[in-house]
Amino acid sequence: MCGIVACIGTRPAAPLLVEGLRRLEYRGYDSAGVGLLRDGKIETRKRAGRIDALAALLAERPISGTVGISHTRWATHGPPTDMNSHPHLDATGKIAVVHNGVIENHAAIRRDLEARGETFVSDTDTEALARLLGQLYAEAGAHGEAAFLEALRRALRRVSGAYGLAILCADCPDAVFGARKGSPLIVGIGREEHFLASDVNAIVAHTREVAYLADGDLAVVRAHDFEALRMDDREATVAVSRVEHDAAAAEKGDFPHFMLKEIFEQPHTLRNALRGRLNPEDATSVLGGLNMTAAELRGVERIQMAACGTSWHAGLLGEMLIEEFARIPCEVDYASEFRYRNPPFGRNTLFLAITQSGETADTLAALREAKRKGARVLGICNVVGSSIAREAGGGLYLHAGPEIGVASTKAFTSQVTALALLALYLGRLHHLSALEGARLIRDLENLPGQIEEVLAQSERIRAIAQRFRGAASVLFLGRRFNYPVALEGALKLKEISYIHAEGYPAAEMKHGPIALVDERTPSVFLCPRDGMYEKTLNNLEEVRARRGPVIAVATEGDREIAHKAEAVIPIPAAPDHFAPLLANVALQLFAYHAAVALGRDVDKPRNLAKSVTVE
């Protein structure tokens, strides 16, 4: 979840590192630091708070050099303080480490090193690794790159957990060292300079040529080249690929926040998700990336999905779409729970890992468990070259472009669209008629324009959000296809506005949550004119009978609902299965405007980070 940037070349490193950290601040923003190597010495600057605090410190106390590492932190071990900020040094000050991940046995390593006379200055797990590495390097009795690499291998064999590392050694002034296990790390290949980073967005302004390291890889990065090695000193196999987007795609442009930009990008990203994937002639979808034959897919008898957060909500909606159109039993699990269950896998079970980043630790662990049990595994993710994209047997890319706002928006829409395409394809392999398939294609093609109509309601939604921004708690209620969106709407509101919110199936309200209803607790009802409309209205009336304020997301032109709700957010008429996508965009805007009205930091909500690469 933390952000790492390192560089080596001919340009001053500090400005490059700070710029890269700004592009990675969504991965953690508790504290930040840089370490530069010059004239055989490592000098660091570290500061709790946002990147601006570090930049101010560097303006007061500048450091120079063309080789450096840097870090923006999401705290795991130890509070966000100057001392706990990265980089961390060994006892001699000759080795500096920045780290994304968790060293699970750090306490045991710390105790052992303290017994041998080491004195620690931070509360972090990372310092234990830095101190261990320093001791092993000192024990080598030699200096230079070969001795340091051997010490690094010995240190990494001692630690358990996950890590993406960038390391400086004062005895190796022409190299930056990297290592990866469970946390993403890439090499950026520039002209007369190379980079290490935890995310391509940090370096895409300088190079779009990157190599993705695999678990167990070590990297020696120099100004003009790099080596990738395995832990046993064998050369690693890494492929150089080109990043699809440029630096401008990761900028806010004219929008005040990344989140608002990404909400408004959804018509475009949805068209990207559909481009080249619809075959009206055969009334089906075209999904060549699955790497499975029609016969293999026709033999799938059960689908198991795993995901986290917003991706899990997309999976819930995808589960309904697959069962509705393909008639294949489907189940979606929280990846964090799935990895510790012992679910049975039949011979014909297909496993789907759903993730925006492709690096979510729990989802990656669930994918590996499914492979271990013999399931065929596919990934649905947004990042080409990510761990899940590489380790899955095939899958679907979202083509949504970089998502910088911590609260996921456009990825959800693209994930559901990808699952709808899969439902269409599997349905046409089974019982779904050509007429029904053609209708589903038309429904998908209509979605981008309908989302544009919802986005045109932004000012109306802003007025509603301002009206209810003082609520201490909000209920989100929907039925059938709208239930996952009720969950997602509640998540968006709570994570960026800090208003407590809960999502429920509307009919379940009577089984407990209705006790929360009073005149100060608004209920957001998702009630488009679908097959559940009358029943949802009955649930709405139950809230009104208890004087609960109602915000209705309803089909435009619905006069009946206008008399039953304090506020109405209209959405275009759409089929039951896709109306929730339109409602979800409306709820994204509702959450965004509520958070802005409350003065929240929308793109960097407290305690959160974008890509959860630790358990």
Q: Give the span between the Cα atoms of 391 and 370, in whole angstroms.
A: 12
Asked if 396 and 422 touch (Cβ cutoff 8 Å), the reply is yes
Q: Are strands 209-212 and 567-571 parallel, antiparallel or unpaired?
A: unpaired
Nearest-angstrom CA–CA distance, 324 and 318:
10
Q: Give the residue numbers annotated as catalytic, written as ranges.
A: 2, 610
Residue 188 backbone phi and psi in degrees, to 5: -100, 130
- 380-416-443 Cα angle (round to 5): 130
Helix (H, G, I), strand (E, B) or coil at 163: strand
In the block, tokens 């009358």 appear at 534
Cα distance between residue 266 and residue 455, in whole Å: 9
Between CA 125 and CA 97 the distance in angstroms is 11
Query: Cβ–Cβ contacts within 10 Å for residue 169, how many?
Result: 27
DSSP 172-190: -TT-EEEEEEBS--EEEE-
DSSP annotation of 235 reads B
Nearest to 171 by CA among 279, 236, 90: 90
DSSP one-letter code for 508: G
**Measured distance between the N- and C-terminal CA atoms of the chain, rounded to whole angstroms:** 10
CA-nearest of 562, 576, 594 to 493 is 594
In the Cβ-directed half-sphere of 298, how many Cα atoms lie within 13 Å? 8
318 token code pair = 């995808």
